């Protein structure tokens, strides 16, 4: 088990045009891909054709790639902008497609904002939601204030201080995901029947 890579998908949580969080998500994804202990997959809420009249786990089967990824996953990275102190509705709708697939898995948040707070408030808003989904939140967040100024027009990072921040962020995620994987495998739970 220890030799197996951790499977930790990333989801970009907004479908808005000209979203600054896309450059952030793609950069974080490359940092994840650069870690030998992580295998990842990139999901974008823009790619989920959600019906307008039906939501929740009842339609989770309509998104087999997402369901398969989260069933296999050891953790999840959520990249979300802050909209009026909250997270995008489409992100909530995508996350609500599943439930048991998240239980006892690590989640780390990347907050993005146009202003000076770097998505701190959106991360605070996501905490109770993540807990209700059964996800275990790491204590290391990654915040991108004034996100549009952090990347050039080609999506290249301009502030190299983020490389060290991302390393600490991913170190904590790897520790938590590894520990929870061991727990799911070896500690009896009504959620993980073999």
In the chain, domain spans: 6-186
pLDDT at 56: 72
Prediction pTM value = 0.94
Average pLDDT of the chain? 93
The residue among 125, 146, 155 whose CA lies nearest residue 29 is 155
CA-CA distance, 32 to 25, in Å (whole number)?
A: 10
pLDDT band at 193 (very low <50, low <70, confident <90, very high): low
pLDDT at 194: 57
Which pLDDT tens digit goes with each residue over 83-115? 888 999 999 999 999 999 999 999 999 999 988
Residue matched to tokens 């599943």: 98
The two tokens of residue 87 are 């997270």
Q: For the structural domain made of 6-186, what CATH number should be given?
A: 3.40.50.360
Residue 10 has pLDDT above 70, yes or no: yes
Q: DSSP secondary-structure letter at 154?
A: T
114 Cβ partners below 8 Å, 6+ apart?
A: 20, 146, 147, 148
> What's the rounded mean pLDDT across residues 149-159?
92
């Amino acid at each position: 088990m220890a030799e197996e890579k951790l499977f930790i998908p990333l989801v970009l949580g907004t479908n808005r045009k000209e979203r600054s969080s896309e450059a952030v998500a793609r950069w974080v994804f490359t940092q994840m891909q650069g870690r030998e202990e992580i295998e990842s997959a990139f999901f974008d809420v823009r790619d989920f054709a959600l019906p307008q009249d039906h939501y929740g786990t009842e339609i989770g089967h309509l998104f087999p790639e997402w369901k398969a990824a989260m069933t296999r996953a050891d953790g999840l990275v959520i990249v979300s902008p802050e909209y009026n102190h909250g997270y995008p509705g489409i992100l909530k709708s995508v996350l609500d497609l599943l439930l048991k697939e998240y239980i006892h898995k690590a989640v780390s948040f990347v907050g993005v904002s146009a202003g000076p707070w770097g998505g701190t408030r959106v991360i605070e808003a996501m905490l109770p939601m993540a807990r209700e989904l059964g996800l275990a939140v790491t204590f290391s967040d990654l915040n991108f204030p004034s996100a549009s100024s952090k990347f050039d027009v080609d999506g290249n990072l301009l502030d190299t201080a983020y490389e060290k921040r991302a390393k600490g962020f991913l170190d904590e995620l790897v520790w938590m995901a590894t520990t929870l994987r061991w727990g799911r495998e070896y500690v009896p739970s009504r959620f993980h029947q073999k």
